[in-house]
Structure 1
Amino acid sequence: MSLDIDWLAFIRVFVVALIGAVLVVGFYAAGLRMLVRAGRVPVVAPAEFTDAITVISPKQAAKAEKAAAKAAKKSPLTQGQKTLALFAAYGSFGLCALAVLGGILLIVLH
């Protein structure tokens, strides 16, 4: 019994997976950056986990929300620039979703 490995196919899969990961992370990071530039800083409510390493208190969450609101008020961008940044953020998140869908379709169709 002989075991033959198609190394070229292995390298192809590795390269495509690497490119896909870079695209998803890059689009998501760009989307978050544009969301912050638009003055819409995402603040996540604290969650309780049984084995959590760090859990922020409601007081710390309120402080973070207050700091985000203060930073949004100090933005040097005009309202038009903020709107453009918001559409760019949504576009980046859309491209991120398309990259994920493309990867799923690649897996399902091949």
Structure 2
Amino acid sequence: MTIEIDWIAFVKVFAVALVAAVLVVGLYSIGLRLLVRAGRVPVVAPAEFTDAITVISAKQAAKAEKAAAKAARKSPLSEGQKRVAQLGAYASFGLCAVAVLCGILLIVVH
């Protein structure tokens, strides 16, 4: 019994996976950048885990929120430009979700 590997198919799968990973990460990072430019800096509240390595304090969280609000006020963009940046961010996140859903659909259907 001999095992034959279809190397062309292997290379195709590798190339598609690499392109898809770059596409999803790129779209997400562009969306996040546009969201920050729109003045909507995402601030995530710290989670309390029992065995976490580092947990930020309430004082550190308040400081991070204050810095995010200051950065949003300092934005050189006009209100219209901020709105366009926010719409671009949402479009980028939407395209990222579509790319992920297409990948899942390819796995399920084939």
Q: TM-score by structure 1 length? A: 0.97
Deviation beyond 6 Å, 4+ runs, structure 1: none
Question: 1:29 aligns to what?
Answer: 29
The answer to whether structure 1 residue 59 and structure 2 residue 59 are counterparts is yes
Question: 2:70 aligns to what?
Answer: 70
Instruction: Determine the C-alpha separation between the residues in 2 that align with 1:48 and 1:73.
Output: 30
- Structure 2 gaps of 5+ residues are none
Instruction: Determine the C-alpha separation between the residues in 1 that align with 2:54 and 2:92.
Output: 30
Instruction: Determine the C-alpha separation between the residues in 2 that align with 1:24 and 1:50.
Output: 32
Instruction: Determine the C-alpha separation between the residues in 1 that align with 2:95 and 2:17.
Output: 16
- How big is the alpha-carbon RMSD for the aligned residues of Structure 1 and Structure 2? 0.8
Question: 2:108 aligns to what?
Answer: 108
SS in 2 for 1:53: coil
- Residue 85 of structure 1: CA displacement? 0.2
- Residue 65 of structure 1: CA displacement? 0.4
Q: TM-score by structure 2 length? A: 0.97
Cα offsets for 1:4-31 (capped at 9, x unmatched): 1111111111111101100110000000
- Residue 53 of structure 1: CA displacement? 2.1
- Residue 106 of structure 1: CA displacement? 1.1
Question: 1:17 aligns to what?
Answer: 17
Question: 1:45 aligns to what?
Answer: 45
